[in-house]
Structure 1
Amino acid sequence: MTLTDLGNGFRDDDQRRRVQAVIHDRLADDREPQECRYLMRFWWQLRMPYREVSLEQLSLNVSQPKLDVLNQLISAIRTSHAEIDAWVATTQDAFPVIQDRGFRAASGGGG
């Protein structure tokens, strides 16, 4: 299954940006660099018409709980705008915002 059609499934750019924010802020933890790299490639896939990442690559590099959430998102995108909104709400409840310790340390906030 290709992921190059995902960008066409959003109601508008605002909905896509909300989904991307959830991926960035709650799933892509830079303390897990390999997983983060593939989550961010998926993040780009939501906007780009070319192949950035495949489901096979995601399944090899993303933890099972996050992979399950991505599969739910893919299904939501292919189902309805309301399902995408529900995915955002559910995922925000399930995953806390990732605290970027590297940024805090670099900005003098400790680590």
Structure 2
Amino acid sequence: RAYQVMDARRLRLAYIGHQGGDKIRAMCADKETVFVAVKRDIVGYRRLKEVHRFSGHRKSASGLHLFGRTLMSWNENELKFWDLDTNAEVPSPALPADFSI
């Protein structure tokens, strides 16, 4: 329901993320931005300030991965891509009807 960010150079706690009421399903980080999947949203925080919010999954995202300035999120039968510069969904490749992870 919360996350901690560590300073790897000093092996110390840098800060503790927001204490939320909902379970964090997935998490990834890029420099000082932490992305968390909560319910059907993916929220990006930079130093405890919300800087990104992506909505569009029909179910909770179960995984997140960054490719440069593109964030990929997925659950058991959805795969979505998000542009971090525009906060918009990027068209995803066509998936077969029986797609599942």
Structure 2-normalised TM-score? Answer: 0.23
Structure 1-normalised TM-score? Answer: 0.22
* More helix as a share of residues: 1
* More strand as a share of residues: 2
| Larger relative contact order (Cα-Cα within 8 Å, sequence gap ≥ 6) | 1
